[in-house]
Structure 1
Amino acid sequence: MTMSSLNLQGERRSRVGFALLMIVGLVAATLSLVTPAHASGEPRTSDIDPNAQTHLVIHKFEQPQEFGLPTDGLPLSDSSGYRSISGVQFSATRVPGIDLTTDAGWTAAKTLNTAEAAQLIAGESAAGAGATGSDGTLTLDLGVGLYYVQETHAPAGVVAADPFLVAMPLQHPTLDQWMYTVHVYPKNPRVGVSLTDIDANAVTIGDTVSWTSTSDVPRTESLDGYAVQNLIAEGLELSDAADQVQVALTGTGAPALTGDDFETQIITVNGRPTVQVTFTESGRAKLTQARATDPQVQVAITYHTTVLTEGAHTNEVRLLPDNRAIAGQTAAVTAQTTTKFGYLQINVHEKGNPSNLIPGAKFKVYLSADDAANDRNAIVVDGTDEWTTNDRGQITLEGFRLSNFVNGLDRDTSDPLYRSFFVKPTFYPAGWMGDWNVQQTAITSVDDPAVTTFEVWRDDTNDGGKTPPNTPGQPGADDGIPGFLARTGAQLTGLVLLGIVLIGGGALALVRRRRKPDDTKKATAAAESREASDDE
């Protein structure tokens, strides 16, 4: 933007034969400084004191819904409707070779644009610099001259305004005098970004977690750049190729995006695999159009990952809302979310003797008591759905999604998404017998395992290992398994009726286990031992 392109309203009567430059050039937030004609004429350039001190007062506000709010170098009479932004850093550098105490200097300033001025100040030191305070205001004490003013740092979530030129001093809009204190109002649009994960259906290592980032579109007349980066955690693996990543605009009347509107790349950022979506010129035009129609419009990017290990896996999204952010000159807007996977530990020891740990016991894990009772839908990890205790009488299963942390949020036991795990013994080794009851547990930490403990007792009749009685599919199995967490009312009723029939008929049912003749005493002794243990 050239300084001559800014709106100078009203007529001027020049005493020196040239149009006096009295304007601040902005791109992101245009400041129209009005210099109407008045009866007594304009001040002369020769009236400018070359040694005077000038004061540039910068007021930093969020970009309002309407563009082009006028300013004339005077403070606004009412700024209560604006939200100030603190912590924005500015520098003002005098453009060399421009002498505003001469007609030639004003003529040169009038035809200069910000790009040309940026080249002229290369290597020059800033005449003033600072950051806006809590009220969004910064005052820079300067000399007489033309200044290139730029934001050198903006807080995260704030899109920096474009550099601009300001002449110091500036002609007063209604009086025949120069203003040595000038107020300017470069405005910044705010943007935000969020990241959500969907892991409700993920159970263990190898399962899929879906992620969606949603990012705001700046309130600005045009976008010179717009990119979004999604960084993948170390314990996850990106499941999608670049062309499988989903990119869309959400909002009322938002136009559909095509492949020409953005480019998706899989790159490395800070050593992490990253999904980067960069919008092209046509895509940025659609973003601006959609933002004008619906201020709530957002860019949604969805991708998928595979869980590789246990632990807390935190993905990060970075919004780069303009070219300065893309170039690293201003801070990216960031957000994070986490999916969590922990441990399940199963211990087996002799009843009354915890130090005697029992190897060779086998277990399965289920997501419901009903599945455990019917031996279906057992959890599979690396192709295995049954595990055996080691020499320490222990099984450690790594990488089960936490019970109380789902879709990035903490959950209590009343939440429908809270998950319990059901551990079922499926085999006890020779010489031992244990309880066949299923144990319910919850995994609530990525650091400390959920522990379930099963106790066994000696049983010399078990000379080849035992599986649960009445296991579905085995000869003589009924519809339920004794000792499980729940039994339906129909099953209980059936058992009662069966008892009545047997008693009414005077029948005596004897259930015998086939034994070798010389093993009878051993079996009797084992049964008595179990009764004694149960009484304890």
Structure 2
Amino acid sequence: MNLKNNRWIKKLGGIALSFAVLCTSCTPTFAATGSPDTSIERSLTIHKYRLEDMSHSTTEGTGQQTDVVPADAIPLPGIQFKVAKMQDNDHTKVDSTWNIQTVTTGADGAVTIRGNSNLPLGVYQIEELASPAVAVKADPFLVSLPLTNPAGDGWIYNVHVFPKNQIKPGPDIDKFVTELENKHDTADISESVKWIVETTLPDDVATCKNYTITDIIDTRLDYVPGSVKVYRVDTGKNRVLMTPDCYTVTEPNTANNRTLTVSLTDAGKKTAAKSLPNTKDKNAALNIEFNTLVNKNAEDSLGKPIPNGATIHYTNNLDIFFEPQSVPEDKKPEVHTGGINLLKVDADDNALKLQGAKFKIYRSEADAKKNINAVKDPANNAIDWEVTTDASGIAHFWGLAYGQKGQDAYYGDSTNYWIVETQAPIDNEGKPYNLLKYPVKVTVNSNSHAEANKIIVENIKHYDLPYTGGTGSLTPLYMGAALILMASGMSILFIRSKRNTEDK
């Protein structure tokens, strides 16, 4: 036998003893006790298992059905093997007179070739075919039919081999708010917020049995109907929008516990696979985007995070169900909103609370001075948000964004707003107080909504101006008229006296 073939045999021998395979002896051996009985039916059974930890596979197989497999070994269905008979005189070459068979393991992870006509005496090479769900396939190995028993004094006619390997892990999941990699943002009540679920794509995504993302929408958020978009993303971060036929959407409602469900269709799985292959330390991914509105329920948690997670449900192409993976609690993205309380009082007597004062709120002092671009009403985005003080002099703007993108609810910066009084309260004489002349700056943060931080706004009572008509105090007018008449009378007397003098 030439050197090349010797190296090849040595390699196969090493492969057969490698950690990935726990099987029969790779060197075909015929017992010294005599030739095998050709009348006994022969069979070859391949038992395929998966192991989470390959170090548990340390015992060489004997070819018997009673060979012990590790306790954590799990049968692996759907794996294909190519079985080829080797030439009797050269086990490195395939016997072309025997048809190569391709077999697939069943639900129990096993497959059997049976019958003497199917399995002539000889040596067979068993080669696992590639599966995108398997991390590293078992190395090819040789097995003799029949096989010498462990004692070396007889034959095993029904040979069992137990190749093992690891399957690839399921997809990972993460979630962001507003944009990729961002975990914190802020919003007004009724303002739309974009969420982005990111899941990695396994190598078998094109043929996997299930790829579904679920997201239970927080009660402080309202899903925006029809807002779902799905992108496939390659390892270079190139995003391609997928068409609606690539996925199905079940929108959240009361009956399904507010659960948004997005599942890839068969067409979608194949489309997603266009973003493969995965590379070292980089995986192709899906981005599932949708929008929600912050709703009135958020008023009960002002200054606190409104987190939202998601879960990936995945069954690989070997029909292996993976435990659903969710975004960890400490990695859930969140949105938050804040607010302020206004207390309207009399400027001279702060104990006097003023009802009926109305205010609008603005994001800049310039807009406030011009009375333009007021914050919109959460209940009706077509009109300005205007609040009115109640009998206790209280009004509030609850549901105002504060801080910036990337800042969490508790440690986000403050945000300034400006309030403008649009209607003065009425005093107990039925007269209006004076309106505030200038916008008042207010600050929103995680604690500004607290009762202890309410903003006191004083109003000055109206001024008593002079009467401009009617029956008011006329004494000054009468006195003026009398003086005028007296002056006129004296002037007449003076003129007459002077004329009399001149006549004389």
Superposition TM-score tier, normalisation by shorter sequence:
0.5 to 0.7
Paired with 1:379 and 1:223, the residues of 2 have a C-alpha distance of 49
1:195 aligns with 2:175: yes
The one-character-per-residue Cα deviations of 1:481-519 (angstroms, maximum 9, x if unpaired) are: xxxxxxxxxxxxxxxxxxxxxxxxxxxxxxxx7644858
Paired with 1:258 and 1:27, the residues of 2 have a C-alpha distance of 38
Paired with 2:47 and 2:320, the residues of 1 have a C-alpha distance of 29
The one-character-per-residue Cα deviations of 1:446-475 (angstroms, maximum 9, x if unpaired) are: 973662211234x3527xxxxxxxxxxxxx
Residue of structure 1 in register with 2:302 after alignment? none
Q: Structure 2 residue aligned with 1:315, among 280, 304, 308?
A: 308
Shift of 1:272: 2.9
**In the alignment, is the contact (CA less than 8 A) between 2:416 and 2:444 conserved in 1?**
yes
Unaligned runs of 5+ in 2: 1-21, 31-35, 81-101, 111-131, 138-142, 152-161, 299-304, 428-432, 475-504
Compared CA separation, residues 255 and 349, structure 1 to 2 (3 A): closer
Shift of 1:209: 1.7
Residue type of the alignment partner of 2:373: N
Compared CA separation, residues 254 and 433, structure 1 to 2 (3 A): closer
**Residues 448-527 of structure 1: matches in 2 within 5 Å?**
448=450, 451-457=454-460, 459-461=461-463, 515-516=467-468
Residue type of the alignment partner of 2:419: V
Paired with 2:239 and 2:23, the residues of 1 have a C-alpha distance of 33
- Aligned residues between the structures: 350
Q: Structure 2 residue aligned with 1:218, among 202, 206, 209?
A: 202
Residue type of the alignment partner of 1:452: I
Residue of structure 2 in register with 1:239 after alignment? 224
- The alignment-based identity, stated in percent, is 14
Paired with 1:439 and 1:43, the residues of 2 have a C-alpha distance of 84
Compared CA separation, residues 246 and 255, structure 1 to 2 (3 A): closer
Residue type of the alignment partner of 1:224: K
Residue type of the alignment partner of 2:260: V
Compared CA separation, residues 185 and 372, structure 1 to 2 (3 A): same
Residue type of the alignment partner of 1:379: V
Residue type of the alignment partner of 2:369: A
Q: Structure 2 residue aligned with 1:306, among 288, 293, 304?
A: 293
Compared CA separation, residues 389 and 188, structure 1 to 2 (3 A): same
The one-character-per-residue Cα deviations of 1:29-50 (angstroms, maximum 9, x if unpaired) are: 999x9x99xxxxx9685xx9x7
Paired with 2:23 and 2:274, the residues of 1 have a C-alpha distance of 25
Paired with 1:390 and 1:43, the residues of 2 have a C-alpha distance of 88
**Residues 397-416 of structure 1: matches in 2 within 5 Å?**
397-401=397-401, 403-404=402-403, 406=405, 409-410=408-409
The one-character-per-residue Cα deviations of 1:180-221 (angstroms, maximum 9, x if unpaired) are: xx9954244153222222399985333222222111113458
Paired with 1:419 and 1:282, the residues of 2 have a C-alpha distance of 47
Residue of structure 1 in register with 2:444 after alignment? 442
Paired with 1:7 and 1:255, the residues of 2 have a C-alpha distance of 46
Shift of 1:302: 1.3
Residue of structure 2 in register with 1:280 after alignment? 265
Compared CA separation, residues 11 and 441, structure 1 to 2 (3 A): same
> What's the TM-score, normalizing by structure 1?
0.52
> What's the TM-score, normalizing by structure 2?
0.55
CA RMSD of aligned residues (A): 5.2
Residue of structure 2 in register with 1:337 after alignment? 333
Paired with 2:240 and 2:24, the residues of 1 have a C-alpha distance of 37
Residue of structure 2 in register with 1:396 after alignment? 396
Residue of structure 1 in register with 2:95 after alignment? none
**In the alignment, is the contact (CA less than 8 A) between 1:359 and 1:390 conserved in 2?**
yes
Shift of 1:429: 2.9
Paired with 1:198 and 1:292, the residues of 2 have a C-alpha distance of 28
Residue of structure 2 in register with 1:369 after alignment? 365
Compared CA separation, residues 380 and 288, structure 1 to 2 (3 A): closer
Residue of structure 2 in register with 1:125 after alignment? none
Unaligned runs of 5+ in 1: 1-5, 37-41, 61-66, 69-109, 119-158, 165-169, 463-512, 521-536
Shift of 1:345: 1.1
Larger Rg: 2
Shift of 1:388: 2.3
Paired with 1:461 and 1:328, the residues of 2 have a C-alpha distance of 79
**In the alignment, is the contact (CA less than 8 A) between 2:186 and 2:335 conserved in 1?**
no
Paired with 1:446 and 1:406, the residues of 2 have a C-alpha distance of 19
Residue of structure 2 in register with 1:429 after alignment? 425
Higher RCO, 1 vs 2 (CA within 8 Å, ≥6 residues apart): 2
Residue type of the alignment partner of 1:400: L
